[in-house]
Structure 1
Amino acid sequence: MSTKIKYEMEFPIQASPSLLYQYISTPSGLSEWFADNVNSRGELFTFIWEGSEEQAKLVSKKSGERIKLRWVDDEDEPYFFEIRIQVDEITKDVSLMITDFADDEDDVREGKMLWENMVSDLKHVLGSA
């Protein structure tokens, strides 16, 4: 079993948590920013990017708050990626919190750039860019 590096990111987003949740938890929402196309059958999500296909299993989700998925390739490993909505209790500012894993520091840099691009797409879709 290889050891991966866990990394976390925070993106402030001007959107209501309930709207944001639709974009992080449903195939139609995820296909607007995360992948070219997303299908789900039960707890199995299929993500399609320019002809390549990856599958992930739903580990857990909490309505209005977060979704946690594990790539099928990592099925026997403790790794996952989580997209979580965080609301500041005082200011009510909304942030999208990303937790992901990468093989090495180069992968972390690449992964972070990928998330930045995807969340930028999400902000455009939400009209909050």
Structure 2
Amino acid sequence: MEYPFRCTPGSLFRAVTTPLGLRGWFADNVVVSGTRYDFFWNKSMQTARLVHYKRNAYVRYQWEDSGEHYLEMRIAHQELTGDILLTVVDFAEEDERDGCKELWDTLIEKLKRAIGCPKK
């Protein structure tokens, strides 16, 4: 899924990689120890490892206990519009795709408010 942003790549990268940034839109709480990220929602917790990243460009979290599933977010500059484009790669079963898309649409709106992106 791709989402346009009007912000700096650095502010978006901090929001998708730091505990404070992730708490602002993605999870209720995030605890980081080295490359281990513990994400908390209500009474549930999921752990991921930060397996790849390039500052201001992309991040990939490998979910523990989820086989090959990972969450990847890529940041790119759109020359024509001047927007920053966030590409999200997430995994969902075929029958869960619409719900997953709706969840990400909601999370991205929350992310935009959290980092102060102006509305288009």
TM-score scaled by length of structure 2: 0.91
Specify the code of the residue in structure 1 equivalent to 2:51.
V
Q: Tell me whether 1:115 sits opposite 2:100 in the alignment.
A: no
**Which runs of 5 or more structure 2 residues have no equivalent in the other structure?**
none
The answer (yes or no) to whether the contact 2:63–2:70 under 8 Å persists in 1 is: yes
Deviation readout 1:22-79 (Å, 9 max, x if unpaired) = 10111111110011111111111011111211111112111111110111122xx332
Distance 2:3 2:81 in 1: 15
1:4 match: none
- Name the SS of the counterpart of 2:72 in structure 1: strand
TM-score scaled by length of structure 1: 0.85
Cα RMSD, aligned residues only: 1.2
Percent pairwise identity: 36
1:67 match: 59
Specify the code of the residue in structure 2 equivalent to 1:78.
E
State which drifts further: 85-94 or 12-21: 85-94
1:38 match: 30
Q: Tell me whether 1:79 sits opposite 2:69 in the alignment.
A: yes
Q: Tell me whether 1:95 sits opposite 2:89 in the alignment.
A: no
- The Cα of 1:84 is off from its aligned counterpart by 1.2
TM superposition outliers: structure 1 runs of 4+ over 4 Å = none
Distance 1:91 1:32 in 2: 27
**Which runs of 5 or more structure 1 residues have no equivalent in the other structure?**
1-8
| Greater RCO (CA < 8 Å, at least 6 residues apart) | 1
- The Cα of 1:90 is off from its aligned counterpart by 3.9
- Give the one of 15, 26, 31 matched to 1:23: 15
